[in-house]
Amino acid sequence: MKLWLLLAASPVWAQHMLPLSMKKSTEIALAPAGNTRIELARELVAQAEARKAQARGALLPNLDGSVSYQDVTRNLKAFGLSFTGLPGIPGVPSFSFPAFVGPFSIFDARATATQNVLDLSSIRRYKASTAGVEAARNEQENTRHQVTDQVARAYLAAVRADARVDAARANAELAEALLRLAESQRRAGTGLAIEVTRAEAQLANERQRLEAAGNERNKAHLQLLRVMDLRLDTKLDLTDRLAYQPAEPVSYEQALRTALDGRPDWKAQQSRERVAQISYSATRSERLPSITAFGDYGPIGPSPGDSRSTRAAGLALRVPIFDGGRRDARRAESASQLRVEQIRTRDLREQLELELRIAFDNLSSAEAQVRTAEEGLRLAEKELEQAQRRYKAGVATSIEITDAQTRLARARENRISALFQHSLARLDLGTAMGAVGRFLP
């Protein structure tokens, strides 16, 4: 693990500023000890691999060993055996079988082996479990994709909050400068006391907005720390800033092909449908005969020292005939599960196309908003500059400056919102294409 990740998780580092870019924030979240969803997805892969090992066990030999010792008595009449004796034979004394025999000892040490020779149902269940591992790994990759998107959005929100604090601070500094100008004009005899009061009120409003922006920034930083699974008392120094970055030129058809080839949730859903298809085939194969080889070997006798080894080997053919309808019910259930996955696949394909079209529309609109916001900010700054000159020249009142100041603050907020929406639209397009990493700064 990288040194900066260890430092970020330590209590000592929480007292210092952690320089953090968007790329580094996603690396922290995707680390083995990062986001909780990443850890859970890794455990789901481990569970799928364990299920695969269980299914493979049905195709491998099964070997059991047993050792038993019995001291036995038997009532032969309980088994329907009754002997009244044998007629006397000249020269041979007569005798009869007792009804109660024993006690006698039986010692048996035996190894028993079984092996499925032909069992199509078990073979297809193993194939289904193999496809299940692939589905779990695709789902893990989809989780990484989602976490990357979540962290990038939280980082953008924190960067926007920082930009709003900077804008609010600039507005407050401008209000202080205009207050000093109003006081200077009043002392020179070309201004009025009400203009000073108006400037003071405007400064108080801007300071209140600065406090609110600072609180929103703290909340955004906490949300970013939470999705990264870092200590909430860590201090962040975000190194990226809101800026216009043109998106890669790509057509809708190219984006759709990229999404179908690499989008992890699409691949995961295809894997789940394949698992359902193979599982349905496995339940259908339960009606087919199966062949099992078996054998056992071991000594048996009245005692370990007086035992003789015996063996048995053979093949068993199992033909399912009737089980009360359980096989038919399992087949119906697996067929329904297959139809469910097919419906989900079709729905995800439509959702994928919808997300791509919306992402393209949002990106186009966001680019237009950025151009408009930049022009609006330029004009607002020019208007304020002209209003200040007119006020200093005594041909305008402070109301004109206050109006220009308000429009400049709105233009700054519009620019921040436009840049944020453009960055978000680029991120949405990358997420919809399944290539979110390509659209990160």
End-to-end CA distance of the chain: 23
* Residue 99 identity: A
Q: H/E/C letters for each residue in 119-146?
A: CHHHHHHHHHHHHHHHHHHHHHHHHHHH
369 CB-side CA count, 13 A: 21
Give the containing element (helix H, strand E) for 63. strand 62-75
Residue 24 CA to residue 3 CA, distance in Å, equals 12
Phi first, then psi: what are they for 388, rounded to 5°? -65, -40
- Type of residue at 245: Q
Q: Is 80 helix (H, G, I), strand (E, B) or coil?
A: coil
- Residue 25 CA to residue 425 CA, distance in Å, equals 19
Handedness of CA 150, 226, 236, 26 (dihedral sign): negative
Whole-model pTM: value is 0.77
Range 35-62+131-292+321-439: architecture per CATH: Up-down Bundle (1.20)
Q: Per the structure block, which two tokens stand in for 40?
A: 């859970």
Please choose, from the candidates 421, 439, 408, the residue with its C-alpha nearest in 3D space to the C-alpha of residue 160: 421
Are the C-beta atoms of residues 271 and 138 closer than 8 Å to each other?
yes
pLDDT tens, position by position, for the chain (441 residues)?
444 444 444 444 445 678 988 888 888 888 877 678 888 888 999 999 999 899 888 888 999 999 998 988 888 778 777 665 555 556 555 556 677 887 888 988 999 999 888 888 888 888 989 998 998 998 888 888 888 889 999 999 999 999 999 999 999 999 898 888 888 888 887 778 888 888 889 889 989 999 999 999 999 999 999 988 888 888 989 988 888 888 778 888 998 998 998 888 899 899 999 999 998 898 888 888 988 998 999 898 888 888 888 999 999 888 888 878 888 898 898 899 999 999 999 999 999 999 999 999 999 999 999 999 999 999 999 998 998 888 888 777 778 888 888 999 999 999 999 999 999 999 999 889 888 877 676
SS3 118: strand
Domain positions in the chain are 35-62+131-292+321-439
